[in-house]
Amino acid sequence: MEVLSFLADGVLMALEPINLMLIVIGVTVGLFIGAMPGLGSVNGVAILLPITFLVPPASAIIFLAAIYYGAMYGGAISSITLGIPGASTAVATTFDGRPLALQGRASLALVTAALASFVGGTVATVFFSLFAPLLATVALNFGPPEIFALMLLAFATFVGLGGDDIAKTVFSICFGLVLATVGFDTISGEPRLVLFDIQGFLRGIGFIVLAIGVYGIGEMIWTIEQTRGEITTTNPKMTAKGLASDAKEAVRRGWKGTWIGSILGFFVGVLPAAGATPGSLMSYGVAKMVSKTPEEYGKGSPDGVAAPEAANNSASTGSMLPMLTLGIPGSPTTAILLGGMVIWGLTPGPRLFIDESEFVWGLIGSFYISNMVAVLINLAFIPLFVWMLRTPFTILAPVIFVLSIVGGFAASRSMHDLWLIVIFGLGAFFLRKFDYPLAPAVLAIVLGPIAEPTLRQSLLLSSGDPMIFFNRPIAGPITVIAIILILLPAVKLLRRSRRVAPD
Amino acid sequence: MRQGEISLAGLLALFSLYLMWKSTELPIGYIRGEGPGGGFWPFWLSFGMLLSCCAVAWKWWRGKTPASVSDEPLMDSFGWLTVAHVGGGVIGFVALISVVSMYGAVAIFLVYYLRFLGRHSWLLTLAMASILPTGLFFFFEGAMQISMPQGLPFTQPFFDLMYDIIY
């Protein structure tokens, strides 16, 4: 009952005119920043942080959290309409969102993404309200072996994502992970894999460089070559009735993915250093695994859009939990929020819920309000995003190329990275010609910087004994499940070949 | 397609070997008291890439992939021409950034694509080639405070004019 009373006070605080106005502005700004390839919530929060010193701390964090929410919704827009994941959290949304858009069902994809994001965010906020202190303790038990086991589980789901050619999927995963090691060895500080001794590689290779290369350049050249320039991208008709019917279809065909994403996303998001990207990926993998029609995934399944979208919103709320209760940011965006809190004179940690309960519950209350505002604003803008797709492809294509290059530069500020984007784009085109799946590489480059240090720290802890991943109570079962998942396609293949042999 | 698949696998295997060799610049084994060396993770991942290439070659040899049993060419002349026009256009776009600035390169690329590849009218082409770079300028330089490359010094008067509008 005490929680409900605190929550009611928090919601009332979030509904104060200044806070409500900041929520509406924050969500709208976040939506458009998130929709821009190359820019994500971290850019929006970082750029607008100085503005928040004009308002009280509670209003300031409510504003920044609203930007965070808006950007999470916005990430799906570029994934679906342009086929370019604006942020790593929206990579998995591209898998089914883009095919739906190409089938002329962009509005269904966008409505599914909006509703799933709303459910994901709301479920996570309820969990947040009820279990905050308990979950903080569980998250604290996650050391390097547990986090590495979780990464292994994420990679295991990649094998399922890559279709039948396991060798090419494994190549793609390893390639993405190797790219993530370029630059400096984070532990010894020595230069590592400075390819062909080109100094630009000392900066490393960012996720966005590979993602824009693969999806922004490679995918576009592929589409133009395959369709011979005569692209009937989509002919969407957008009416209020159509929107309502899409909403019904989204609920009917996307509910399973929404629930999987909402629950799984939150628990992955709570883990320090995990965040929304592994959450969305794992939710996609699990939704595909438990689906009765896994063959529909990758071809335009609403469940395939709902799972990652629900998960990334759920995880973004979850990642606030270690930030508030332990002072550990769960994602780059929460790291900036944490910095802001310190500047505002607040000390994140276990005592925050006691010493600054009004602030904490005001923030939690704002999550509920932000979610409602975000889904309404997002649905209101869907006709605009769908209208974009009516543009002839010979106009849309150069605009996508321009946004890819400009967005790529905005994210990295380096000409070296722009050339890498072009090389990755052309390389991706030829790899795709020979059925190499590229999504696992993009996801691996995101998870690589988490996987490597946790593996090395774990082996250091165990003096080089890999059994550390098996004999710990949390890491053990996760590792075993991951290994089963990795071996599953091989077993299936073996059984299939045995069945064919007698025939 | 058949020849292409094995050639690509060979090329990727060579690249994997290069990465393995490059990884050995840092220790690839376990160092007592320090844990795995800096080259450990990339070395074994590159080895994984090499093994995958061997598996692809094995499947190719046994004719188990669609490409390995296909006699079709990788692309016909139209496909190559399309890739050359579009890919070449993007390469030209990036190359021009250091000369005529990001916004100048965007305008030139849009003229090239819309007018010469898309065969749109000059009116639409020029409208797009002026509105989009201007919009991008105000968004990035004004709202997001992100400076884009300004090219060679001859573009400076244009930037001075635009900055006067923002500030």
Interatomic CA distance for residues B96 and A473, integer angstroms: 57
Nearest CA in chain A to B96: A415
Q: What is the secondary structure of A416-465 as a DSSP string?
A: HHHHHHHHHHHHHHHHHHTT---HHHHHHHHHHHHHHHHHHHHHHHTTT-
Q: Given its phi and psi angles, is residue A198 left (phi above 0), alpha (psi -120 to 50 degrees) or beta?
A: beta
Write the residue in B12, B42, B65 that is nearest to A171 by C-beta. B12
User: Which letter, b or e, does each residue of A311-330 get, where b requires 16 or more Cβ atoms within 10 Å of its Cβ?
Assistant: bbbbbbbbbbbbbbbbebbb
Chain B closest-CA separation from residue A171 CA (Å)? 5
Beta bridge partner(s), residue B117? none
The CA-atom distances, in angstroms, between A70 and each of A39, A47, A85, A210, B148 are: 13, 15, 15, 24, 26
Interatomic CA distance for residues A110 and A255, integer angstroms: 15
Where do we find the tokens 């939990």?
Answer: A321
Q: Structure tokens of A109?
A: 């994809």
Interatomic CA distance for residues A113 and A109, integer angstroms: 6
**Cα–Cα nearest to A424, from A269, A232, A208:** A208
Q: Among the residues of chain B, which ranges form H helices?
A: 2-23, 40-61, 77-111, 122-137, 156-166
> Tens of pLDDT along A264-317?
888 888 776 556 777 888 888 888 888 888 888 888 889 999 999 999 889 888
Interface list for A 403-432 with B (CB within 8 A)? 405-406, 409-410, 413, 415, 418-419, 421-422, 425-426, 429-431
Please state, for a pLDDT cut of 90, what percent of chain B lies above it. Answer: 59
Q: Structure tokens of A200?
A: 């630009």
Please state, for a pLDDT cut of 70, what percent of chain B lies above it. Answer: 100
Inspect the interface and report whether the beta carbons of A178 and B97 lie closer than 8 Å: no
Q: Among the residues of A271-349, which ranges form H helices?
A: 276-290, 302-318, 320-325, 332-343
Inspect the interface and report whether the beta carbons of A193 and B22 lie closer than 8 Å: yes
More confident residue, A338 or A408: A408
Interface list for B 22-81 with A (CB within 8 A)? 22-23, 25-26, 30, 34-42, 45-46, 48-49, 51-53, 55-56, 59, 65-67, 74-75, 78-79
> By the CB < 8 Å criterion, does B86 face chain A?
yes
**Cα–Cα nearest to B7, from A430, A438, A213:** A430
DSSP character at residue A29: H
A138 by DSSP, 3-state: which? helix
Instruction: State the pLDDT confidence band at B20, using cuts at 50, 70 and 90.
Output: very high
Where do we find the tokens 């905005």?
Answer: A410
Q: Structure tokens of A417?
A: 């990275």
3-state secondary structure A154-205: HHHHHHHHCCCCHHHHHHHHHHHHHHHHCEECCCCCCEECCHHHCHHHHHCC
With beta carbons under 8 A apart, name residues in chain A contacting B128. 395
Mean pLDDT over B22-38 rounds to 89
> By the CB < 8 Å criterion, does B17 face chain A?
no
Inspect the interface and report whether the beta carbons of B90 and A392 lie closer than 8 Å: no
Inspect the interface and report whether the beta carbons of A456 and B40 lie closer than 8 Å: yes
Write the residue in A167, A397, A435 that is nearest to B52 by C-beta. A167
Inspect the interface and report whether the beta carbons of B118 and A392 lie closer than 8 Å: yes
With beta carbons under 8 A apart, name residues in chain B contacting A421. 94
How high is the pLDDT of residue A90? 82
How high is the pLDDT of residue A278? 78
Where do we find the tokens 């840092």?
Answer: B26
Write the residue in A188, A395, A422 that is nearest to B90 by C-beta. A422
Q: What is the secondary structure of B72-95 as a DSSP string?
A: S-SS-HHHHHHHHHHHHHHHHHHH
The pair phi, psi for residue A183, each rounded to 5°, is 125, -105
Interatomic CA distance for residues A62 and A393, integer angstroms: 40
Bridge pairing between strands B30-31 and A183-184 = unpaired
B36 by DSSP, 3-state: which? strand
> By the CB < 8 Å criterion, does A46 face chain B?
no
Where do we find the tokens 């050339």?
Answer: A419
> By the CB < 8 Å criterion, does B110 face chain A?
yes
Write the residue in A177, A392, A415 that is nearest to B97 by C-beta. A415
> By the CB < 8 Å criterion, does A433 face chain B?
yes
CB A89 within 8 A of CB A312: yes
Write down the pTM of the prediction: 0.75
More confident residue, A129 or B98: B98
ipTM: 0.93
B interface mutation test: which of A148, A164, A225, A452 has the most B CBs within 10 A?
A: A225
Q: What is the secondary structure of A127-147 as a DSSP string?
A: HHHHHHHHHHHHHHT--HHHH
Write the residue in B38, B48, B91 that is nearest to A174 by C-beta. B48
Q: Structure tokens of A342?
A: 């310190």
Instruction: State the pLDDT confidence band at A352, using cuts at 50, 70 and 90.
Output: confident
> By the CB < 8 Å criterion, does A497 face chain B?
no
Residue A291 Cα to chain centre, angstroms: 21
Inspect the interface and report whether the beta carbons of B23 and A193 lie closer than 8 Å: yes
Chain B closest-CA separation from residue A456 CA (Å)? 6
With beta carbons under 8 A apart, name residues in chain A contacting B146. 410, 413
> Tens of pLDDT along A170-199?
999 999 999 999 999 988 889 999 999 999
Instruction: State the pLDDT confidence band at A158, using cuts at 50, 70 and 90.
Output: low
Nearest CA in chain B to A167: B52
Q: Structure tokens of B148?
A: 């884009």
Is residue B126 scored above 60 in pLDDT? yes
With beta carbons under 8 A apart, name residues in chain A contacting B52. 167-168, 170-171, 174
> Tens of pLDDT along A20-36?
898 899 898 888 877 77
> By the CB < 8 Å criterion, does A25 face chain B?
no
Instruction: State the pLDDT confidence band at B111, using cuts at 50, 70 and 90.
Output: very high
DSSP character at residue A236: -
Inspect the interface and report whether the beta carbons of B74 and A433 lie closer than 8 Å: yes
Beta bridge partner(s), residue B36? B30
Write the residue in A174, A402, A415 that is nearest to B110 by C-beta. A402
Nearest CA in chain A to B57: A167
Where do we find the tokens 């100048």?
Answer: B104
Is residue A350 scored above 70 in pLDDT? no
Interatomic CA distance for residues B87 and A420, integer angstroms: 14
Tell me, what amino acid is at A440? P
Return the half-sphere exposure (C-beta side, CA atoms, 13 A cut-off) of residue A342: 11
A interface mutation test: which of B61, B86, B102, B137 has the most A CBs within 10 A?
A: B86
How high is the pLDDT of residue B109? 96
CB A106 within 8 A of CB A92: no
Average pLDDT value over all residues in chain A: 82
Domain-wise residue ranges, chain B:
2-69, 77-166
Interatomic CA distance for residues A122 and A200, integer angstroms: 43
